[in-house]
Amino acid sequence: MDDDALLAEQMAYYAAGAAEYDRQYAEYEALQKLLAVVDDLPIGGDVLELACGTGQWTLRLAERVRSVTAVDASPEVLAIARTRTASPTVQFLEADLFEWQPPRRYDIVFFAFWLSHVPPTRLADFWHTVATALAPGGKAIFIDDGPAAAAYEEVLANQPTPTALRRLNDGSQYRIVKVFHDAQTLTDDLTAQGWSVRIRPMAGNIIGIAEPPAAAG
């Protein structure tokens, strides 16, 4: 399966499972604690949130910044997000993040549990898009699964792109991109691209703050 087909299946998974998505936030205390981390991160001003999903993070961001532009490819999850976050300072946009280009710059580009869904072949282009979306002095802030989270996924072996199998309540199953980034390796990769980055582990997750190369944009 090539990356385009895998990404299409990934998008179908999130569309079909939109109504089930929030259950994990209600059931897992670790995720609830992770949401609270937003309050301790250097987030302010105008924020671009990539892959906002059902708005779990959007709600947290909106409480402490000037504005949030929240983007996702799935109209199904965006419908839930709009209900959860009815704020005049939040704008929701439906767009394919591998095609969409931000029309302006932001103080913060934030993404939670999205980096692991970006195929390695598209990672450099993704970071370039993030860099060009940041205003001078801006930062990328991200939260995701670390390597330990692989134990909780049905990882498929011998795939050209790191892949996991996800199942929904109705028994349907979907393949998704799932890259479990090691903090040190990701730090080294971003540093090689000119980013200044700090990544710390937290209970199986990684939390990163990165500033782009000076020449970005």
For residue range 165-194, what is the model confidence (pLDDT) as tens digits?
Answer: 999 999 999 999 999 999 999 999 999 999
Specify the pLDDT at position 216.
59
Specify the pLDDT at position 115.
98
Whether the Cβ atoms of residue 108 and residue 47 lie closer than 8 Å to each other: yes
Q: Which residues contact 69 (CB under 8 A, 6 or more apart)?
A: 46, 47, 48, 49, 90, 91, 93, 102, 106
- The better pLDDT of the pair 138, 86 is held by 138
> Is 215 a residue whose pLDDT tops 60?
no
Specify the pLDDT at position 211.
98
Q: Report the relative pairing of strands 173-177 and 163-167 from DSSP bridges.
A: antiparallel
Specify the pLDDT at position 169.
95
> Is 11 a residue whose pLDDT tops 80?
yes
